[in-house]
Structure 1
């Protein structure tokens, strides 16, 4: 159209058309480049699918299943987006716990405890895991089966397996998922779960499914989506395999004496009697029972928040999810479902929320003052907590290793409320 106009109209009046034509051409170039990139990405994904299909068949998946499922797999951009996303702010313990252990979830857990009493008793008899813990895992993982995730597991896992960041791990998970489909546990088009491939009532990854899922209802299939007996018995078997101790609970809230040495909250496990001798009591101020068990001290929100003595089963829970916040939430929710009250010392809700950049600044500030926090990485790990304790001690503060407002102010680190 621009060429036609240029022929009809005098050049001197419409000389702007030539620059405009060049501008339009330059604007079109990125679009062409993007199209070429997209075409290359599509070819690369198709080639990756072929490689994964061949690997699955070599690993024992039937050619029919591997071919059929992989032909329908799609690249999910949303999965890569979620995998790349790092939380801008770390969650405070108060926010984490209050979102997960709330009155609605406690009430629903108690109703489910009564509704599935016979099934839960059977799982407890066979695995040693008490019913309230099974309800707590179920409640935290899928809100008692109300939400499993809507992502196609084969497509999610293929997308992640074809991405270089964690290709090996997700290739293993994909092949496991294909084996699950191959055994007839669930049709491929019904295998939905989280963006990372966790599935069913209790959100098992495919490799965990293959190793620990069981057919508890006797229908010939291990179905963690549609069979609650299969799901809860599988959860019990998984916890049992990690060494669940049916004689003891997960841990308990405790009270610490004044001037307590918080360096003891470094993961070491001491006999309960030794904690008792150090002045620790139960949450109501009564002496700890004299039982032959070891525990570690966990102080997730510093000296202003609750303290817990965590037993062996706490570590078992962390075998399910490597977060101490998660393990405390499971244990506390189980206690509440069983009828216990809330924490005697709830976590402070005004604690600062720190971004990864905030934590890096904190680590650098500690290093500058001679307190070794390790390589600044934005992770509040043991080395950083140790450095905070040393700084707190030098400044005459409670040396709990927690980056509260006073620590941040002294180091000129801006936090977020």
Structure 2
């Protein structure tokens, strides 16, 4: 018997087992779904034609050793075309956005920027049946408790009539609609903005934008305030002192010589901000305000929140950052970070056992090395620093 024929027979033989396992999995879910208030009709409709989605499980196993600098992250996402599209959408949905601002206190450009970052203004909301994707993750044993809860919540959303199962589409991990809500976030923060009795973030742009504004308000968005300021540092700035401060009133940062690149004063010197140097001393610098942290509740990433803030500024007519990004820099993967630590140890700057994790001890060693090498002692770990250590 050929190996191809044998493989075919094995595949056929395995099919009933796989189907039986999936059928058992679905049956096991019903008591939990019923306890959540899901109707039997909605449950059956949601699982019609269900089988695990192979691509979804493959995506959980893809852990590429690839990283981006903040410059690269923004460069791929914030473009003139994206800003122009955001301005066009602002005109098209002005009434909805203005109403949402009055109701929730969130500026239109911020809501638009999140919409643009998440789905390119509805251009691509994901191609997966949300319930089938969440069922695949749960049945496959990937973060089972988390995704089972999201699955049961998604079933309740269908049962409540907000969307039909076939139109509940999203990412492979279950993020849904124009602004990519997880089912649990939908239940807490989605709103029926257009008043038709359904919270439809898939087909109703007003519902999606209103829900996003409501989400930000729930995490204490400060109305009328920005996310932060691009700033410039004085010559001889004390980076070590800045790291010790972490957060301080803008007036204190100003006393250390930090100014807005626009030359304008800070509108509220008593606002508390933190200094952010995504490329170290040689790139753009920012003082980040409380609303920046609210954006991070959407995606807990400084790069993401900076991209949202910058796109929002571009939508209302702002330009690119005043300070250019350093040329030739690159982000380090874990192995490269461990190599950097080894080189610091070899140069006499003790960081302990190299593990690829950049903590206070490594930062201190980097700053000591930079001082000895005549570099700005900003503690920034990057590809350029690794290259310098290799010389």
TM-score by length of 1: 0.85
Residue 29 of structure 2 is aligned to residue 52 of structure 1: yes
Deviates more, 1:355-364 or 1:324-333: 355-364
Instruction: List per-residue Cα deviations over 1:233-288 (Å, max 9, x = no partner).
Output: 11110000000001421001000112223342578210011000111011135554
Paired with 1:381 and 1:152, the residues of 2 have a C-alpha distance of 41
Matched with 1:168 is: 145
Instruction: List per-residue Cα deviations over 1:125-148 (Å, max 9, x = no partner).
Output: 000001111111111111111111
Paired with 2:195 and 2:362, the residues of 1 have a C-alpha distance of 51
The 5 Å alignment of 1:104-143 reads: 104-143=81-120
The 5 Å alignment of 1:285-296 reads: 285=263, 288-289=266-267, 291-296=269-274
Deviates more, 1:364-373 or 1:151-160: 364-373
Q: Is the 8 A contact 2:331 2:382 kept in 1?
A: no
Paired with 1:266 and 1:42, the residues of 2 have a C-alpha distance of 58
Matched with 2:69 is: 92
Paired with 2:107 and 2:353, the residues of 1 have a C-alpha distance of 41
Matched with 2:313 is: 335
CA 1:348–1:54: 2 relative to 1, 3 Å: farther
Paired with 1:46 and 1:266, the residues of 2 have a C-alpha distance of 57
1:355 CA drift (Å): 3.1
User: Which of 361, 372, 383 is residue 351 of structure 2 equivalent to?
Assistant: 372
The 5 Å alignment of 1:30-109 reads: 40-109=17-86
Matched with 1:277 is: 255
Q: Is the 8 A contact 1:276 1:287 kept in 2?
A: no
User: Which of 363, 366, 385 is residue 407 of structure 1 equivalent to?
Assistant: 385
Paired with 2:354 and 2:281, the residues of 1 have a C-alpha distance of 26
Q: Is the 8 A contact 2:106 2:217 kept in 1?
A: yes
Secondary structure, aligned partner of 1:72: coil
Matched with 1:319 is: 297
Paired with 2:87 and 2:154, the residues of 1 have a C-alpha distance of 33
Matched with 1:186 is: 163
Instruction: List per-residue Cα deviations over 1:6-25 (Å, max 9, x = no partner).
Output: xxxxxxxxxxxxxxxxxx67
CA 1:366–1:161: 2 relative to 1, 3 Å: farther
User: Which of 184, 192, 199 is residue 176 of structure 2 equivalent to?
Assistant: 199
User: Which of 282, 287, 290 is residue 309 of structure 1 equivalent to?
Assistant: 287
Paired with 1:266 and 1:72, the residues of 2 have a C-alpha distance of 57
Aligned residue pairs, count:
389
User: Over aligned residue pairs, what C-alpha RMSD do you find?
Assistant: 2.6
CA 1:382–1:245: 2 relative to 1, 3 Å: farther
CA 1:64–1:290: 2 relative to 1, 3 Å: closer
1:28 CA drift (Å): 6.8
Paired with 2:173 and 2:287, the residues of 1 have a C-alpha distance of 32
CA 1:325–1:56: 2 relative to 1, 3 Å: same
Secondary structure, aligned partner of 2:273: strand
Q: Any unmatched runs of 5+ in structure 1?
A: 1-23
Q: Is the 8 A contact 1:280 1:288 kept in 2?
A: no
Paired with 1:275 and 1:305, the residues of 2 have a C-alpha distance of 18
Paired with 2:135 and 2:265, the residues of 1 have a C-alpha distance of 54
TM-score by length of 2: 0.90
Q: Any unmatched runs of 5+ in structure 2?
A: none
Secondary structure, aligned partner of 2:286: strand
User: Which of 232, 252, 256 is residue 255 of structure 1 equivalent to?
Assistant: 232
Matched with 1:239 is: 216
Paired with 1:337 and 1:214, the residues of 2 have a C-alpha distance of 25
Matched with 1:8 is: none
